Amino acid sequence: MNTRATNLSLVIFDCDGVLVDSEPLSLACLTAGLNRIGVAIDLATVRARFTGTSMASIMAHIAADYGITAPPGFVDAVKAETLALFDTELKAMRGVASAVSGLGLPVCVASSSDPVRLRHSLGLTGLLPLFGDHVFSSAQVARGKPFPDLFLFAAERMGAEPAACLVIEDSVPGVTAARSAGMRVAGFTGGGHWGHDPAGSDLVRAGATPIFSDFSDLAAVIGGP
């Protein structure tokens, strides 16, 4: 069965780890920040537990699991450090601009990032014009990923039925959210944080199919079975 033949009308992209190779940078900043306030956690654990998760959800988990409440200004400080690192090191995923522009389908972004970081990342990498105003943040909904709210919000704003949407995701919370929204989801493992598991076994278990790691394959992913 071909996805175009099943009335695909919208492709929804996550941002961090899909459009931009930001996760190695942001996860490193988050790990360092958590260590500073006494959270004994390493980068591998942060990557496994918090990739694709909003800062609000992360801090709630830290408080519940480690008994540490972040001091005032902590989240803003980590965000500022992350944006500063982005200014010098953030790159778009290889081949993403040409792949997205050549789809011939409506596209949008739905990300756990706050609106400032989201538009900053897309602007820095030259990707923002591909999406225009069709950039949606978890700050616009009551619950972030792994809940379906953000993807359903994006589909509604774009005038698409959930069953006619394909989501491109790199995280288990994102895949879970897309599946809960009744959407198809393909897993992307081309980001620097996926070096530990290029086959995306966690994404497969969460319900993503197919898995791809190079945007030169995007057209085949969308047009394939």
The span from the CA of 169 to the CA of 203, in Å, is: 9
97 in the same domain as 84: no
Q: How far is CA 99 from CA 2, 61, 169, 215, 222, in A?
A: 19, 36, 15, 6, 11
64 in the same domain as 16: no
142 in the same domain as 196: yes
149 in the same domain as 63: no
Find residue 137's DSSP bridge partners.
Answer: 111
Report pLDDT for 52: 74
151 in the same domain as 131: yes
- pLDDT tens string 4-45: 435 899 999 999 999 999 988 989 999 999 999 999 999 989
- pLDDT tens string 145-182: 999 999 999 999 999 999 999 999 999 999 999 999 99
Domain range spanning residue 54? 24-89
186 in the same domain as 83: no
125 in the same domain as 173: yes
- pLDDT tens string 94-150: 999 999 999 999 999 999 888 988 999 999 999 999 999 999 999 999 998 999 999
42 in the same domain as 134: no
38, 64, 89 — which closes off a domain?
Answer: 89
Q: Give the CATH number for residue 157.
A: 3.40.50.1000
42 in the same domain as 99: no
Number of domains in the chain: 2
47 pLDDT more than 70: yes
103 in the same domain as 77: no
Q: Is 224 left (phi over 0), alpha (psi -120 to 50) or beta?
A: beta
The span from the CA of 38 to the CA of 55, in Å, is: 17
- pLDDT tens string 170-220: 999 999 999 999 999 999 999 877 665 667 788 999 999 999 999 999 999
141 in the same domain as 71: no
pTM of the model: 0.84
Of the candidates 11, 1, 214, which has an alpha carbon nearest to the alpha carbon of residue 104?
A: 11
210 in the same domain as 175: yes
Q: Give the CATH number for residue 31.
A: 1.10.150.240
